[in-house]
A and B are shown apart, each in its own frame.
Chain A
């Protein structure tokens, strides 16, 4: 079974621009979560989507948004980029569903650099 894939793997953007990152989950997984990893703040939860609905959200400004499509693929968007948005963005997929907490499988990440 193919793992979680993320595109692009590397991205360089300028302050003020916007960016869209893409994630394809493991086949059969309906939950997709996004995390930001920085040296200063570590791994932080951004949001989770399940069946095209945002089910959970972390403490990030509204510039960070996401969506999920009917095939479970997900995108996250960051508008008006700031230098502090430079980070490794990790996508994780899991079976999802209600009544349980499932292990999440992570993709290789997208390394975003904002200049």
Chain B
């Protein structure tokens, strides 16, 4: 069975600090996909990134960066120079490619609070 663990339930930082969110996953499949979503107070989940298990290159998008390490089953997310608008709950999710269709297994989420 697949499982996603986000050990940090809440992180509080001051604006302009960097913040790293940890994500550890478990799966028996060799082909799988990892995702990060942001859930602002409005409630709608916003897609941030999708990464497949064969692509271990790190990715940077503006102030966001992701570090995928298959050896440790981790897919960590860093926000550089955080801003108040980054305050949200962030979810890491996993989808196994062998399963029929699309089914996301989510971690418990990490609440990020960025103080001005």
Which A residues are within 8 Å of any B CB, using their own CB?
A: 31, 33, 35, 42-45, 48, 50, 55-56, 58, 88, 90, 92, 94, 96, 100-109, 111
Flag if A31 contacts B101 (CB, 8 Å).
Answer: yes
Flag if B104 contacts A56 (CB, 8 Å).
Answer: no
What's the dominant secondary structure at chain A's contact region? strand
Smallest Cβ-Cβ distance to A31: which chain B residue: B102
The docked-state distance in angstroms from the alpha carbon of A100 to that of B100 is 10
Flag if A56 contacts B43 (CB, 8 Å).
Answer: no
Which B residues are within 8 Å of any A CB, using their own CB?
A: 32-33, 35, 37, 42-47, 50, 52, 91, 93, 95, 97, 99-109
The docked-state distance in angstroms from the alpha carbon of A98 to that of B104 is 16
Contact for B103 among A58, A103, A105, A108, CB less than 8 A: A58
Known A42-B108, A107-B44: A55·B101 in contact at CB below 8 Å: yes
Contacts of B97 in A (CB 8 A): 100-101
Contacts of A58 in B (CB 8 A): 103
Task: Determine how close the nearest CB of chain B comes to the CB of A32; give it in whole angstroms.
Answer: 10
Contacts of A108 in B (CB 8 A): 42-44
The docked-state distance in angstroms from the alpha carbon of A33 to that of B93 is 14
Closest 10 A/B residue pairs (Cβ) = A55-B101, A106-B45, A43-B106, A56-B101, A101-B33, A103-B50, A108-B44, A101-B95, A56-B103, A48-B101
Smallest Cβ-Cβ distance to B96: which chain A residue: A101
Q: Which of B32, B45, B97, B109 has the largest number of chain A CB atoms within 10 A?
A: B45
Smallest Cβ-Cβ distance to A3: which chain B residue: B44
Task: Determine how close the nearest CB of chain B comes to the CB of A82; give it in whole angstroms.
Answer: 22
Contacts of A31 in B (CB 8 A): 101-102
Smallest Cβ-Cβ distance to A95: which chain B residue: B102
Known A43-B91, A90-B45, A103-B50: A33·B102 in contact at CB below 8 Å: yes
Contacts of B50 in A (CB 8 A): 101-103
